[in-house]
Chains A and B, each alone.
Chain A
Amino acid sequence: MNNGNEILVTGSGIITALGIGKEATWDALVNERSGIAPVKYLQSSHGEFPVGEVKLSNEEMRALLHIGSSTITVRSSLLGIIALKEALEEAGIKPSDTKERVALISGITVGGMDQTELVYQKLFETEAYNDYIDLNDCGGCTEQIADYFNGFTSVSTIVTACSSAANALIVASNMLKAGEADIVVAGGCECLSIYHLNGFHTLMILDNKLCKPFDQHRKGINLGEGAAYLVLETTEHAVKRGAVSRGKLAGACNACDAFHLTASSPNGIGPYLAMKGAIENAGLTPSAIDYINAHGTGTPNNDLTEGIACMRLFDKVPPIASIKAFIGHTTSASGAVEGVISLLALENNYMPVSLNFSQQMEELNFSPVSNPLPKKPLKYILSNSFGFGGNDSSIIFASNK
């Protein structure tokens, strides 16, 4: 990629089980404080599954955002607005105050189900809850987030399960290179819901203890929730408006595993193609990667196939970790949430560890980073997000240096 065409990140925002904002997030990561805990806010009978809940009720989030009681909101939108606020403030952008074309692309799958599942039966009996119908669908949530800020010239939603936010970043990059927007804000948001907690439970891929990514005795996922957005623009545009670069989106690739709807192929062809494609798209070779933010959900299947794909691609697998042991699997938001964390790692030259690890998987020749490594300059981080349907995405984040 030539310098004029680089995609810069000029702002970012995040909210997860670790707290609101990048500072709280980084503090928890560096001090190895996980955000996974018993269910507190979600009204689920499945209290046995630890989750990565954002430690705020909907009412508390509404208060932070000064949203009045007469406005219907859904949890995913609230998470999204909080993260987007931090991103736009850091980038110095107000979509409503500029003539520039500022697009929004958000990845989400649960939509407003956290509310509609509670009022579902009542919808058949009374019209009092009809406003929730519009907010139930994914596009409705994105629109609610966009409307809070006003001024986005285009609003799109990507719904590809756990790779949604990563794909939003890829599409954003495409839009900028095609000159279809001056700035693109991309990312994702997702809240917990009874609907998908039960769904994952019925697929028998949840762990009823803390998840153990890449551990021989891993049992499954801890679900999480959160949101993150990145403000993206070309170098040329950023320089013109005097924006500060926080990092770069150096390369990306999306590939199809084409094996099974929920499991990955035994040889990890989809993950392999996605990682290889992203590295090639960035004009790099595998040896340039300093750290891998793995998809690492902690399921027997994912960690094995992702591990095998890494061993195929890298002569020596670089330091690798799964952040999901800190924040849970934030599903549609994970590509952006973990992207923001990857950028923080690059900025601080520190690789977050993979918690709850004790025994190397017998099929793999590497272990994740379980103890902090000495600080060293980090230049490129590869971040993986693999979704159901074999939708596999990898993104390379680069530091400014």
Chain B
Amino acid sequence: MEELMLELKNEIIKVLNLEGIKPEDINDDDEMFSKGLGLDSIDALELIVMLEKNYGIKLTDPAKGKEIFKSIRVMAKYVAENRKK
């Protein structure tokens, strides 16, 4: 799980162009959206694309994204349980 969480942090930094942010700056349990990284709805959509591209997980309801991307830990758990790649 630790390895997956680090992998996700690196992917998020790359995919969302989070300049100057390193994996150690992202806490495992911090909220990613309203506070913390301050991500917005378009970032959420990019993460949905990343989930399909990297892990074969297809999300059709953008509202589900909000639950899954609550924090790195929640996201990692979801990926571990649902990944096809």
- B62 is an interface residue with CB less than 8 A from chain A: yes
- Complex contacts, A204 vs chain B, CB 8 Å: 45, 48, 60, 62
A316 CB to nearest chain B CB (Å): 33
In chain A, what residue has the closest Cβ to B60? A204
CB–CB B49/A260 < 8 A: no
CB–CB A263/B45 < 8 A: no
- Complex contacts, B41 vs chain A, CB 8 Å: 260, 262-263
Which A residues from 182 to 228 make CB contacts under 8 A with B? Answer: 202-204
A196 CB to nearest chain B CB (Å): 15
- A119 is an interface residue with CB less than 8 A from chain B: no
Which B residues from 37 to 55 make CB contacts under 8 A with A? Answer: 40-42, 45, 48-49
CB–CB B45/A203 < 8 A: yes
- Complex contacts, B42 vs chain A, CB 8 Å: 203, 261-262
12 contacts between A and B (CB under 8 A): A202-B45, A202-B49, A203-B42, A204-B45, A204-B48, A204-B60, A204-B62, A260-B40, A260-B41, A262-B41, A262-B42, A263-B41
Chain A interface residue number, banded? under 10
Interface string of A289-303 (1 = CB under 8 A from B): 000000000000000
Using a CB–CB distance below 8 Å, which chain A residues touch chain B? 202-204, 260-263
In chain B, what residue has the closest Cβ to A261? B42
B71 CB to nearest chain A CB (Å): 22
Q: Told that A202-B45, A260-B40 touch, could you supply 5 new A-B pairs with CB distance under 8 A?
A: A204-B45, A204-B60, A260-B41, A262-B41, A262-B42
Of A202, A204, A261, A263, chain B has the most CB atoms within 10 Å of the CB of A204
B38 CB to nearest chain A CB (Å): 13
Q: How many angstroms from the CA of A261 to the CA of B48 in the assembled complex?
A: 18
Q: How many angstroms from the CA of A203 to the CA of B60 in the assembled complex?
A: 11
Q: How many angstroms from the CA of A204 to the CA of B40 in the assembled complex?
A: 14
A328 CB to nearest chain B CB (Å): 21
Interface string of B10-42 (1 = CB under 8 A from A): 000000000000000000000000000000111
A242 CB to nearest chain B CB (Å): 53
Q: How many angstroms from the CA of A203 to the CA of B40 in the assembled complex?
A: 13
- Complex contacts, A260 vs chain B, CB 8 Å: 40-41
In chain A, what residue has the closest Cβ to B46? A202
- Complex contacts, A262 vs chain B, CB 8 Å: 41-42
A179 CB to nearest chain B CB (Å): 43
Q: How many angstroms from the CA of A261 to the CA of B60 in the assembled complex?
A: 22
6 pairs of A and B residues whose beta carbons are closest in the complex? A204-B62, A203-B45, A263-B41, A204-B45, A202-B45, A202-B49
- Complex contacts, B60 vs chain A, CB 8 Å: 204
In chain B, what residue has the closest Cβ to A219? B61
- Complex contacts, B40 vs chain A, CB 8 Å: 260
- Complex contacts, B62 vs chain A, CB 8 Å: 204
In chain B, what residue has the closest Cβ to A203? B45
- Complex contacts, B48 vs chain A, CB 8 Å: 204
Q: How many angstroms from the CA of A203 to the CA of B41 in the assembled complex?
A: 9
- Complex contacts, B49 vs chain A, CB 8 Å: 202
B54 CB to nearest chain A CB (Å): 16
Q: How many angstroms from the CA of A262 to the CA of B41 in the assembled complex?
A: 9
B63 CB to nearest chain A CB (Å): 9
- Complex contacts, A203 vs chain B, CB 8 Å: 42, 45
Interface string of B62-75 (1 = CB under 8 A from A): 10000000000000
- Complex contacts, B45 vs chain A, CB 8 Å: 202-204
- Complex contacts, A261 vs chain B, CB 8 Å: 42
Q: How many angstroms from the CA of A261 to the CA of B45 in the assembled complex?
A: 14
Q: How many angstroms from the CA of A375 to the CA of B65 in the assembled complex?
A: 47
A261 CB to nearest chain B CB (Å): 7
B15 CB to nearest chain A CB (Å): 13
